[in-house]
Structure 1
Amino acid sequence: MPTSDQKIKTLKTVRGKDINIKYTQDNFEESIVTQRQYFDDNGAELTPITPLLLSRQVVGANSPTAARFGSSQLRHISVCFGSSNNTLGESNFKVVVPYAPGDPIQAEQIRETRDYVSPSQFLAPKTPLKLVYHGENNG
């Protein structure tokens, strides 16, 4: 069982902000979805937000349209980093894949995520240990 000090360390990493992203569904309809970006207690980015993901950012969008997905799951990558400060020894982040299957940029975004180097001292090693791609699931 972790001590209260360990719990406090873990809770300090839950700072973040939401980024609205233009998402192309498998049926090629466009939506606005939210990507959560987490930071450590020093302000260093934890979530692997890459240039290709940011290129789909929609600034000033009022609200995501993803609510219409219902129980559906968006395409995303589960990204695992080592994290000795975390009680499980790892930190996992969900990164939206906004590019539709067949779009060559989709594979490039996944490669960018694989090659991401975190600036956070909280994560070690600084590159992902594992990536798992999850396709769109319509409930």
Structure 2
Amino acid sequence: MYVDNCAMQLVRNPKHFDVIITENMFGDILTDQAAMLTGSIGMLPSASIGGSVALYEPVHGSAPDIAGQKKANPIATILSAAMMLKYSFHMPEAADSVSQAVSAVLEKGYRTPDIMEDGKTPVNTEEMGELIRKHIIGES
């Protein structure tokens, strides 16, 4: 599929896609676009898998404009680690535990500033990470 059509189809019917394989430049563009479908660039993990080494990272990059302010959403980074557990370390149960913890914390209504909604509980970067960690180890 050509990248311009992929971009259109991604907006038109995002559930049509499970995995998109592309080179880096088009991948960067499409992941930023897809991130906004989720409501925030802080929600999407990514992986570059192939060859002898894989790279797992959130789609958002380092966000230097908010560094040190505890505003960043750690979920994409955490879900990138879950992908690493699944695909590189072949630990699907551990990956599922991490993913389920993220879902559970979101279902309880906790939100970082980028995904905040009325009636939800605001938390900062560290608090969101800690809530997810506690759920993983069974302290929630």
- TM-score bracket for the superposition, by shorter chain length: under 0.3
RCO higher in structure (CA 8 A, sep ≥6): 1
Structure (1 or 2) with the greater helix fraction: 2
Structure (1 or 2) with the greater strand fraction: 1
Q: TM-score, normalised by structure 1?
A: 0.27
